[in-house]
Structure 1
Amino acid sequence: MATSPSKEKILKKIREALSNPVPLPFPQSEGTNTVYVENRDDVVVTFAEEFTKLQGKFIFCENEIVLTNQLAQLITQRSWSNVFCKETALQNYLTAINISRYNDLPSCDVSITGCEYLVARTGTIVMSAAQESGRTTSVYAPVHICIAYTNQVVYDVKDALKTLKEKYAYNFPSFTTFASGPSRTADIEKTLVTGVHGPKEVFCFLVERT
């Protein structure tokens, strides 16, 4: 079947365009550069500011002794008796303040986990299934406590993803989560409600470590 003159004209223009591509008008707009001004002078301060804006509760600890004291004080103030924690290193902190291990996640008062990284720009806690806590510990409990260290703070989400890929180059976790403050939704009459799909409160204890 013969090609119509109008169709042939269109095809000719397409072939000419493909053989003589037009240079990109904005060569720096391909998404390789960040659109945010990076402030890496003190990512810890940036994280604290952004995390608290999202209703997170931030506690800075100069060392692990301060951490255990602050943790004990919080647990006592809140009268938490059922503290769930699966991570061996973090259980040692609980042992030091005479908190017995509680093994039933659905009925616990609070869960304690570590994290992979903290993202300063967005105030986000990055966790993965590769941690001892697994997928569910940080979302089932009504209150989530994350214990992290200053050498885990990165500036942006892309930095966290890059370091995760390097860390798990040959066995990337099956699940990675980016949690920014307590869970919240405004689905019902556009009223913001916290604690609907996850913890109502999120604490981050950040311990100094070089």
Structure 2
Amino acid sequence: MSVSASKENILKKIRQALSHPVPVPFPQSEGNSSVFQPPVDDMAVQFAQEFTKLQGKFVFCADEKDMAEQLLQLAAARKWDKVVCREQKLQQIFKQLNIPINFHDNLSDSDASFTTCELLVSRTGTMVLSTGNESGRTTSVYAPVHVCIAYTSQMVYDLKDALQALREKYGNQLPSFISFATGPSRTADIEKTLVVGVHGPKEVFVFLIEG
């Protein structure tokens, strides 16, 4: 049998099979429903659990004043003298609350960086960051410690919910850069030994504000 005849024979069998499809044996197993069940507990609790599993550090704050005071205590304990914060909204919060943190401009020799985020994904403990915020691409990556400040209203359950929320917010004008960051940077490429802080910050904090 020639190659062309063999090919035609195979295609004929495929066409016959498609014209007489076999019923799915377990129809209820097919569909678009997620394999992950909706969260039972508060999504903030789930996020904290997943985030800390991956060496992230989570702080819950009752309000913005509580957040600012806890951040000031952390900065004093860690002796952070060079803190980068490029977002006017965050700077304004500290200014209004008379929280004495002196912000630094140079990321290359900074102690920590403060940013907001787009969303938090509770199922995976993930921060969604983008260039839609004033911090841009580098603020959350170059400093040795990244502090993300978010609100419970920014919480979504799954990655698909995050993508849908971004589409609804930006429409066809999505930011040029969207990052899904889960805990501090890590790699095990070298001799399968886990090393933290190779491609980004060694420590990541999330200060979650009720609201």
Give the drift of 1:194: 0.5
Q: How far did 1:143 drift? A: 0.3
Query: Is structure 2 residue 53 aligned with structure 1 residue 49?
Result: no
Aligned to 2:204: 202
State whether structure 2 residue 140 is matched by structure 1 residue 127. Answer: no
1:180-195 pair list within 5 angstroms: 180-195=182-197
Amino acid at match of 2:136: G
Question: 1:48, 1:110 → 2: CA distance?
Answer: 21
Instruction: Give the structure-2-normalised TM-score.
Output: 0.90
Q: Distance in 2 between matches of 1:122 and 1:193?
A: 21
Amino acid at match of 2:187: T
Q: Quick one: structure 1 residues 151 and 18, their matched pair in 2 at CA, closer, same or farther if it must change by over 3 Å? A: same
Matches within 5 A, 1:102-117: 102-117=104-119
Deviation at 1:25, TM superposition (A): 4.2
Contact 1:59–1:206 (8 Å) recurs in 2: yes
Deviation at residue 59 of structure 1 after TM alignment: 0.5
Alignment-mate amino acid for residue 152 of structure 2:
T
- Corresponding residue number in structure 2 for 1:16: 16
Across the aligned residues of Structure 1 and Structure 2, the Cα RMSD in angstroms comes to 2.0
Deviation at 1:28, TM superposition (A): 5.5
Could you tell me which residue of structure 2 aligns to residue 140 of structure 1?
A: 142
Change (3 A) 1:7 1:46: closer
What is the total number of aligned residue pairs between the two structures? 208
Q: Distance in 2 between matches of 1:4 and 1:67?
A: 72
Q: Look up the match of 2:171.
A: 169
TM-score, normalised via structure 1 length: 0.91
Structure 1 unaligned spans of 5+ = none
Is contact 1:40–1:155 with CA below 8 Å preserved after alignment? Answer: no
Shift of 1:99: 1.6
AA aligned opposite 2:46: T
Name structure 2 gaps, 5 residues minimum.
none
1:190, CA displacement in angstroms? 1.3
The residue aligned with 2:151 is 149
Identity of aligned residues (%): 62
**What are the Cα deviations for residues 7-63 of structure 1, in whole angstroms up to 9, with x where unaligned?**
554343233223333344455666722111211540000001111111111000001
- CA gap of 1:161–1:7, structure 2 versus 1, over 3 A, is closer
Q: Which digits, 9 at most, give the CA deviation of each residue in 1:92-113, with x for residues without a partner? A: 2343312222111111110000
